[in-house]
A and B are shown apart, each in its own frame.
Chain A
């Protein structure tokens, strides 16, 4: 196991299930990522340096300069169904934050609910993984992290604040448009990876359960 001269990517994993935290940690470490796991959306936001009360008070900036994120996080992977703050709530808070919105977010869920999947993707999630998550899923994360590494995160923050209009610093709307377009493209141009991955997107398009070899829950739950 050699040490790379590049700094490792750091992933923040959020899941209220201890088993799933253990699993995602192993999956991520196997892929040579640095991992931090937390058991709730609230703790995730704390770790990211974002405090709930800062957001609700209009006079306070969303991230106080002194609470600047200590550790760089290159990707957040979160469970959808969690008590209190769901993964979707967490996703929204991250996308609403000027300092955190560029961190790619991936959602995991044990239920294949097409409307849930599209809602998350529309809100800006990069991927939606069906649980149990596998190595083939984690292999899809690197490109999302690479994208953010291309621009220096600190530099990008400053650009956003100044609104300098440089090509790299796009407005949020433009980014969203791009993301949606990107997602639509992904739906049609499915990567030729394992069957299960293309089926996740297919599930979104056709509203069917993915056709895995192992027996699956039919997925027609009413989701609260």
Chain B
């Protein structure tokens, strides 16, 4: 495998970790990849984004209804936050935490504002991970998981 290519991939990952987009959990996921499950991380991320789109829609709707049901919002966000933490999406998690604090305080404006940030981080991470996996795939069949070691 091209040494530069591998280095590029490692650098990208290191950068994502350093900037706080991803945390240790992402590394843990990579360590679960093997020859029989070489794309586990990408599968997890894909599932996350498919599943979270639905949750975000639910939250959007709940934020639009009057009066706002903060308990419902909190429940949705709790689920969303849990999923984010399972893939190591640190920045997304932080915004989720903030959102839930506003829910508890029944602060609608805070929720609406923070939700924009949640979506932003969520979308931003998606782009970065898409680039990362694309790079991993280009490196060869075992590039994805092995690069982490």
Contact = CB atoms under 8 A, between A and B. Distances in A.
Q: A and B, one complex?
A: yes
A135 B88 CA distance: 15
Nearest to A218: B97
Q: Is the interface of B mostly helix, strand, loop or mixed?
A: helix
B87 A19 contact: yes
B86 A23 contact: yes
Given A19-B48, A22-B44, A132-B28, 14 more contacts: A17-B82, A17-B83, A17-B86, A19-B47, A19-B87, A20-B83, A22-B43, A26-B37, A110-B81, A110-B85, A132-B25, A132-B85, A135-B31, A217-B97
A145 interface: no
Contacts of A20: 82-83, 86
Nearest to A110: B82
B79 interface: yes
Interface in B62-116: 78-79, 81-83, 85-88, 90, 93-94, 97, 100, 104
A interface residue count range (under 10 / 10 to 19 / 20 to 34 / 35 or more): 20 to 34
A81 B44 contact: no
Interface residues of B, number: 31
Interface of A: 1, 17-20, 22-23, 26-27, 30, 81, 110, 131-132, 134-135, 213-215, 217, 221-222
Nearest to B81: A110
Contacts of A215: 23, 90, 93-94
Contacts of A132: 25, 28, 85-86, 88
B60 interface: no
B42 to A, nearest CB: 12
